[in-house]
Structure 1
Amino acid sequence: MNQMNARIRRSTIAAVAALVLPFSVMACGSDDSDSSSDDSTAAGEETPGQDDSDKSEEGDEKETASEPFGPGCEAVPESGDGSFDGMAKDPVATAAGNNPALSTLVKAVGAADLGDTLNSAEDITVFAPTNDAFDKIPKADLDALLKDKDALSKVLTHHVVDERLAPKDLEDGEYATLAKEKLTVAGSGEKYEVNDDSKVVCGNVQTSNATVYIVDTVLMPAK
């Protein structure tokens, strides 16, 4: 009898063990799966954050690159028609007229009857000489130039390229001007030269129809 009872107890224990063991294994598997899922979710959450940071940095670089640059930009008013925001609303000849540092250029544009031509053009680049740039020309020669409409028109149109040029386009290039001659440009960062002898003192200034680079020397055509 005792032996029979012992066999019954052993059979019962074996049966219980057979039932409990699979549930234990399943529970462990479930924990591992949850842990793996959590790890995966955590990894997935980190990646978007990293991407957003990278995109933000790229956006900051693009924003910085679109701003005017150069020591000459410090003279531009912070508000009003002559400010960067004000000039962006006007066509290029009108915008130049609101900048006191370009008054000689504006006078020359008027003498050559080029104001309407420049204002009505679409997507151009203007290399605009400062008053100091015109002062480098002997007074007698400048006075004579201002009285010679054809010669003056050629000089002024030699400062205009029939496309908008971004700063990166000035790093190393050659462009045809409206005077049907070539300008060479080179540089990087915030330092650029035109024809090897004229420096950009305030660059990437936007008007409604043009990108303007203010330069410190008048660009003379070869002919």
Structure 2
Amino acid sequence: MNPTHTRRRVAAALAAAALSVSMGVALAPQASADEGGTPFGPGCASVPKEGPGSVEGMADDPVATAASNNPALSTLVAAVKKAGLVDTLNNAKDITVFAPTNDAFAKIPKSDLDKVLADKDMLTKILTYHVVDQPVTKADLADGSFKTLEGGTLTTSGSGDSYKVNDTATIVCGEVHTSNATVHVIDTVLMPK
């Protein structure tokens, strides 16, 4: 796989994951039983009980599409669209997206966020940093280290239903499944080094 294709695949996966997280864990765990467990975390309670944005509804759609069905992930979805990563994320297979919620994006000063949104290369770099080219289940989160599509590394730690990513972001709704991804919704946007 050439580096450009890999970057695009990662960026797409990140965007999709971010969308899912921003939507407050709108991705579904209904894929097959071998794809992992059920969603966990306090943010899962805000997921709609039925319809396209519900866990069941999202399980049938690829990650970017699934995220677009949940208003809590609208900032992530907009960023993924702006970076041109929708098709990349939707066409990727067996990826994991650490998806920031709208509240996560709101932590970034508006002037800084506007600069990133205006710089497609930087936006793509940040979004693809949120995507891992392999399934990451709850069992993998206790003490994990994962290479991202951007080329950097994410670390995870925790136990029970409480997990951190890079010691800065908390997983608010983890292990949400779409047709092509595992999504862990997070409360902070991750920044590559």
Q: Does 1:218 align with 2:189?
A: yes
Q: Does 1:153 align with 2:108?
A: no
> Relative contact order (alpha carbons < 8 A, sep ≥ 6): 1 or 2 greater?
2
**What residue in structure 1 maps to residue 139 of structure 2?**
168
* Residue in structure 2 matching 1:180, options 151, 164, 179: 151
Deviation, 1:66, is 1.2
**What residue in structure 1 maps to residue 169 of structure 2?**
198
Aligned residues: 160
Deviation, 1:100, is 1.1
Supply the AA of the counterpart residue of 2:117: L
Structure 1 spans left out of the alignment, 5+ residues: 1-61
Structure 2 counterpart SS, 1:155: helix
Measured on the aligned residues, the alpha-carbon RMSD in Å equals 1.3
Deviation, 1:201, is 0.2
Structure 2 counterpart SS, 1:220: coil
Structure 1 distance, partners of 2:62, 2:144, is 26
Q: Does 1:209 align with 2:177?
A: no
Structure 1 distance, partners of 2:182, 2:95, is 6
Task: Output one character per residue of 1:28-68: Cα deviation in whole Å (capped at 9) or x when no partner.
Answer: xxxxxxxxxxxxxxxxxxxxxxxxxxxxxxxxxx99x7110
| Structure 1 runs of 4+ with >6 Å offset | none
Deviation, 1:203, is 0.5
Structure 2 counterpart SS, 1:219: coil
Identity %: 63
Q: Does 1:127 align with 2:98?
A: yes
Q: Does 1:104 align with 2:75?
A: yes
TM-score (norm 1): 0.70
Structure 2 counterpart SS, 1:144: helix
Structure 1 distance, partners of 2:95, 2:148, is 10
Deviation, 1:84, is 0.3
Larger Rg: 1
Structure 2 spans left out of the alignment, 5+ residues: 1-32
Structure 2 counterpart SS, 1:208: coil
Structure 1 counterpart SS, 2:171: strand
- Bigger proportion of residues as helix: 1
* Residue in structure 1 matching 2:51, options 77, 80, 98: 80
Task: Output one character per residue of 1:118-165: Cα deviation in whole Å (capped at 9) or x when no partner.
Answer: 000000000000000000000000011001000000000000000011
Supply the AA of the counterpart residue of 1:117: T
Structure 2 distance, partners of 1:179, 1:103, is 22
Supply the AA of the counterpart residue of 1:136: K
**What residue in structure 1 maps to residue 6 of structure 2?**
none
Structure 1 counterpart SS, 2:145: strand
